[in-house]
């Protein structure tokens, strides 16, 4: 599985006084996309952490195209283009209910050993579930 879609409604508290989503909330939307992408793969962040694997973000890039608004039903498409190694790179497209592109984004995360705080290779059980 390389692509997963996840939809939710924008809450009032995520917007400014004009009803526009505050730009910093997009990082949280991307995190939700990653969590749901992993969950659809049969992997959980909690499970990885319990097994001593951390996955910190080491790069974040967002291009804003159009504003998301209060109560919009937005969809975060999360996908990967290449097999993860020590790093895993996610690309995203965020759409509103009218299928208008709101933003594109990219994050890079590193697999880290929780005990040593050193980079490690992507776990085999994740690689086994990907179709590369």
The answer to whether the beta carbons of residues 30 and 107 sit under 8 Å apart is: yes
Beta strands in 10-80 (DSSP E): 53-54, 57-64, 73-79
131 is catalytic: no
CA distances 51 to 24, 39, 95, Å, are 30, 16, 34
- Residue 107 structure tokens: 């994050």
Instruction: Please pick, among 16, 91, 113, 128, the residue that the annotation labels catalytic.
Output: 16
Q: Which residues are catalytic?
A: 16
């Amino acid at each position: 599985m390389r692509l997963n879609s996840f939809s939710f409604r924008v809450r009032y508290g995520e917007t400014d006084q004009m009803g526009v989503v505050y730009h910093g909330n997009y990082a949280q939307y991307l995190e939700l996309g990653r969590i749901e992408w992993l969950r659809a793969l049969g992997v959980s962040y909690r499970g990885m952490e319990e097994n001593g694997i951390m996955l910190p973000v080491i790069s974040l890039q967002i291009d804003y195209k159009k504003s998301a608004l209060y109560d919009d039903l937005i969809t975060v498409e999360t996908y990967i283009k290449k097999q993860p190694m020590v790093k895993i790179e996610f690309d995203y497209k965020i759409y509103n209910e009218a299928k208008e592109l709101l933003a594109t984004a990219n994050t890079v995360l590193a697999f880290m050993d929780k005990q040593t705080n050193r980079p490690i290779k992507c776990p085999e059980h994740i690689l086994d579930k990907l179709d590369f």
